[in-house]
Structure 1
Amino acid sequence: MKPLRATALDAAAFAPFGEVIEAGAATRQFPINQGSTVRYHDLARIDPGEDGHAIVSIFRAQPRALPFEVSMLERHPRGSQAFMPLSGRPYLVVVAPPGERPATENLRVFLARADQGVNYAAGVWHHPLLALQAESDFLVIDRAGPGANCDEITLDEAVYIDLG
């Protein structure tokens, strides 16, 4: 199996796959509620696709032990899927570009901080949640509506993630 090395999640590196959701200095922000709150504005473009509507869920992910074998990916061709961690723990994000079956050399792994979420663009291949350390909750905004919206594949060659 080939090793995959995780890199820190940042907006520029993740842009081909979607958006990083974070309250950072580069984010458009302004005070609201008579100055008692700062709004970090327009962090992700939620795309429910044609005939769909956005829904909000909580996913509870079990922690994964490292090294972790990546042998499958999924994609949601009809809409985006946003994840925001709620449990204060880092997690891993495995992605590949949209399109037909991805080659293992096109996989990317990012280590997301506990204060960073991701919004996968429609059609982006990704691994299901990869919580680290302990059971972790994620706020998820994705699509509900008619039509199948989850494709899964088994990779031709498994790879593994080890943070070293």
Structure 2
Amino acid sequence: MTTPVQLHIEPLTHEAFAPFGDVIQADDAAKHFTINEGNTERYHDLAKIDTGEDGYAIVSIFRGQPRTLPFIVSMMERHPKASQAFIPLSGRPYLVVVSDPHATPTADRLRVFVCTGQQGVNYAKGVWHHPLLALDTVSDFLIIDRAGPGDNCDVVQLPVHGLIPALA
């Protein structure tokens, strides 16, 4: 087996994640305003949910088993028909691994983001990503994605793996 490519972990920011989709986070960067007679702050239009022409939005909960770091990334997947949003419910950090949606993923093209338990992500249609990477403990995520006709999941195995190091 070839030596895995050492991957760099970076913090999740709106700017860094923009080529891959949306960061879902209640912060000052988001459009927000007060509603409900002043009792609620609405953080508005945080993600562009794309269900494709013949799909419809569904809401699910994924319960992710914790991954141990260092971790080998050996595969990636994408959803060519629709976006897929992950919103943490457990308040725990987790990792996101993405790659350029316009090219077959390779280890040297992977980007790894550490997300706080208050940040969600919405993978844009066709963005290569690794399945859920919960850390430390079992964690629940609210998922908004597509149901409908046709296959909406492509999977590739990486010929050279990526290695996510332990968090510093």
TM value normalised by structure 2: 0.96
Counterpart CA distance in 1 for 2:119 and 2:162 is 25
Tell me the C-alpha RMSD between the 2 structures.
0.7
Is 2:159 the partner of 1:156? yes
2:6 is matched with: 3
SS of residue paired to 1:12: helix
**Separation of aligned partners in 1, 2:74 and 2:57:** 29
1:136 corresponds in structure 2 to: 139
Q: Secondary structure at the match of 1:13?
A: helix
2:29 to 21, 26, 31: 26
Q: Please, which of 73, 77, 87 is the counterpart of residue 76 of structure 2?
A: 73
* Alpha-carbon offset, residue 103 of structure 1: 2.1
Per-residue CA shift, 1:32-79, capped at 9, x if unaligned? 111100000000010000100000000000000000000000000000
Task: Report the Cα offset of residue 26 of structure 1.
Answer: 1.1
Q: How does 1:94-133 map to 2 (within 5 A)?
A: 94-133=97-136
Percent pairwise identity:
63
TM-superposition CA deviations, 1:102-123 (whole Å, max 9, x none): 1221110000011000000000
- C-alpha separation in 2, matches of 1:94 and 1:101: 14
Secondary structure of 1:77's aligned partner: coil
Query: How many angstroms apart in 1 are the aligned matches of 2:101 and 2:28?
Result: 29
Deviation at 1:3, TM superposition (A): 1.1
In 1: Cα distance, 2:160 partner to 2:66 partner: 23
Q: Distance in 2 between matches of 1:100 and 1:53?
A: 27
| 8 A Cα contact 2:5 2:108, kept in partner | no
Extract unaligned runs of 5+ from structure 2.
Answer: none
Normalising by the residue count of structure 1, what TM-score does the alignment of the two structures yield? 0.98
